[in-house]
């Protein structure tokens, strides 16, 4: 099958690493794929996976003199179809802000439509219900090629033409149950059967064999190593974890915490770490390549992964975090909060769940994990079985391809 993937930035940027394995698995299953990022940058992301996906990527600038000229030519070539698309954007976007966003990607959508015709694409799939799906919608309306989109979480709440996109798409993929329930609020009754829960999948890497089935007792190590692979944004809840670490240090536990990521709150978090005198315990590692992080897991260098996520005041929350799934796939115990789609992943003892914004509860959970060997073993086994059963990438991609083929 010939498939076009519309992404926000992949393989550029570092915000969509979870899409890379999916695209590569679609290719591994014998499909012809092209990737068109809406906002491509000059440099591809770090790591082997972005380099592989880059080989299938077509670079189209979001806005340039050449792209505007080309889109104008397409307008004169298909004036009726283009005017119909513009009318739909004006009618269905909902407010002036979303109208502007959608009109800004109109040239990109028109050019993408021409590329799709040139490559004889049979199906268009967009990640995100926001402007990437707008580009896919425009390309589909221009060419008649069927399309679909994956919705995640914040993009559902934004409600960028979701009713119209549901009407015109072949199917809608939602990555978790809360997202499924949320998106139904924006979809007409006759189109609700188009919604399907298909989780984001992960590979159970062959390098996992390097990890001993017996959990390494942290007492025999210099320190208990905790990783937080998450960008420095409010919903990730780093601030509560920092206070939890302070409590553990006060209880004379030897813990070392690696923060893998970057983002707007970095300076604020570093200031807090310095204020609490935790510079020797919390280490900012920066953004590393996805495959490098997995290599750390494979070598058994991480004892625990924590994601102290919260629901922000404006309602932003997690879906099902791939960062937790990946750790579980390497039999690394995980701790997170009872927010968003996380309970769907960590329920039934696959991980430790605590209430959000509660440093005491986080500290207690980490303390239990360090001291209770039987708990660690149960989390290892149940976590691994959970991701194998529900999130194993080849099975997830099979479901996705079956939906594309109809």
Side-chain-facing half-sphere of 289: CA atoms under 13 Å: 12
| Sequence-distant (≥ 6) Cβ neighbours of residue 215 within 8 angstroms | 331, 333, 373, 376, 377, 380
At 314, the pLDDT band (50, 70, 90 cuts) reads: confident
**What is the pLDDT, as a whole number, of residue 209?**
43
| Sequence-distant (≥ 6) Cβ neighbours of residue 396 within 8 angstroms | 22, 198, 199, 200, 201
Summarised one tens digit per residue, pLDDT across range 248-276 is 999 999 999 999 999 999 999 999 999 99
| Sequence-distant (≥ 6) Cβ neighbours of residue 62 within 8 angstroms | 38, 39, 40, 104, 105, 108
**What is the pLDDT, as a whole number, of residue 205?**
57
Pick left, alpha or beta for residue 197 (phi over 0 → left; psi -120 to 50 → alpha; otherwise beta).
Answer: beta
Q: What percent of the chain shows pLDDT beyond 90?
A: 82
103 & 213 share domain: no
CATH of the domain at 313: 3.40.50.2000
401 & 379 share domain: no
54 & 12 share domain: yes
The pLDDT of 63-78, averaged and rounded, is 94
211 & 243 share domain: yes
Distance (Å) of CA 90 to CA 31, 97, 354: 36, 11, 44
240 & 363 share domain: yes
Residues in the chain: 406
| Sequence-distant (≥ 6) Cβ neighbours of residue 14 within 8 angstroms | 45, 46, 262, 287
328 & 361 share domain: yes
The whole domain housing 72 covers: 2-201+392-405
Cβ pair 6, 133 in contact under 8 A: yes
Cβ pair 202, 394 in contact under 8 A: no
196 & 96 share domain: yes
Between CA 289 and CA 138 the distance in angstroms is: 33
383: its two tokens: 């976590």
Summarised one tens digit per residue, pLDDT across range 115-131 is 999 999 999 999 999 99
**What is the pLDDT, as a whole number, of residue 216?**
45
339 & 190 share domain: no
The pLDDT of 98-107, averaged and rounded, is 97
Q: Does 17 score more than 90 pLDDT?
A: no
187 & 211 share domain: no
For 13-54, the DSSP string reads SSS-TTHHHHHHHHHHTT-EEEEEESS--SSBPSSHHHHHHH
Q: Is 76 exposed, middle or buried (0-12, 13-18, 19+ CB in 10 A)?
A: exposed
187 & 229 share domain: no
295 & 164 share domain: no
**What is the pLDDT, as a whole number, of residue 89?**
98
CA angle 367, 308, 342 (to 5 degrees): 105
The pLDDT of 349-371, averaged and rounded, is 96
Total of domains in the chain:
2
The pLDDT of 214-242, averaged and rounded, is 81
Residues of 139-170 as b/e, b for ≥16 C-beta within 10 angstroms? bbbbbebbbbbbbbbbbbbbbbbbebbbeebb
**What is the pLDDT, as a whole number, of residue 221?**
58
Note the pTM of the prediction, 2 decimals.
Answer: 0.84
Across 12-16, 64-68, 203-207, 336-340, least confident range:
203-207
Q: What percent of the chain shows pLDDT beyond 70?
A: 96
**What is the pLDDT, as a whole number, of residue 215?**
43
Whole-number average pLDDT of the chain = 92
CA angle 134, 138, 139 (to 5 degrees): 115
188 & 303 share domain: no
């Amino acid at each position: 099958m010939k498939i076009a993937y519309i992404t926000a930035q992949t393989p550029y940027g570092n915000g969509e690493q979870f899409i890379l394995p999916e695209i590569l698995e679609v290719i591994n299953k014998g499909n012809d794929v092209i990737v068109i990022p809406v906002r491509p940058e000059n440099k591809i992301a770090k790591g082997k996976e972005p380099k592989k996906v880059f080989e299938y990527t077509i670079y189209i600038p979001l806005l340039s003199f050449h792209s505007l000229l080309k889109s104008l030519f397409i307008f004169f070539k298909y004036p009726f179809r283009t005017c119909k698309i513009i009318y739909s954007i004006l009618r269905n976007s909902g407010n002036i802000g979303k109208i502007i966003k959608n009109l800004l990607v109109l040239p990109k959508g028109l050019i993408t439509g021409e590329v799709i015709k040139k490559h004889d694409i049979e199906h268009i799939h967009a990640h995100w219900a926001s402007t990437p799906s707008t580009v896919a919608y425009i390309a589909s309306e221009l060419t008649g090629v069927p399309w679909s989109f994956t919705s995640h979480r914040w993009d559902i709440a934004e409600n960028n033409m979701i009713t119209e996109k549901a009407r015109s798409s072949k199917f809608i993929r939602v990555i978790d149950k809360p997202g499924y329930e949320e998106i139904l609020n924006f979809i007409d009754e006759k189109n609700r059967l188009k919604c399907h829960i298909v989780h984001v999948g992960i590979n159970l890497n062959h390098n996992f064999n390097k990890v001993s089935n017996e959990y390494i007792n942290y007492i025999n190590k210099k320190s208990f190593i905790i990783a937080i692979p998450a960008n420095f944004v409010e919903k990730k809840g780093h601030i509560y974890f920092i206070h939890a670490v302070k409590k553990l240090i006060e209880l004379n536990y030897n813990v070392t915490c690696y923060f893998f990521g970057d983002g707007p709150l970095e300076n604020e978090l570093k200031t807090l770490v310095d204020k609490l005198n935790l510079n020797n315990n919390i280490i900012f590692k920066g953004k590393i390549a996805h495959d490098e992080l997995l290599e750390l897991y494979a070598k058994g260098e991480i004892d625990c992964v924590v994601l102290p996520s919260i629901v922000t005041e404006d309602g932003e929350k997690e879906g099902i975090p791939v960062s937790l799934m990946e750790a579980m796939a390497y039999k690394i115990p995980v701790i997170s909060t009872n927010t968003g789609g996380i309970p769907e992943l960590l329920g039934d003892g696959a991980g430790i769940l605590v209430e959000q914004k509660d440093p005491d509860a986080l500290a207690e959970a980490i303390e239990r994990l360090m001291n209770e060997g039987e708990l660690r073993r149960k989390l290892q086994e149940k976590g691994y079985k959970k991701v194998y059963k529900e999130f194993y990438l080849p099975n997830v991609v099979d479901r996705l391809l079956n939906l594309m083929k109809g």
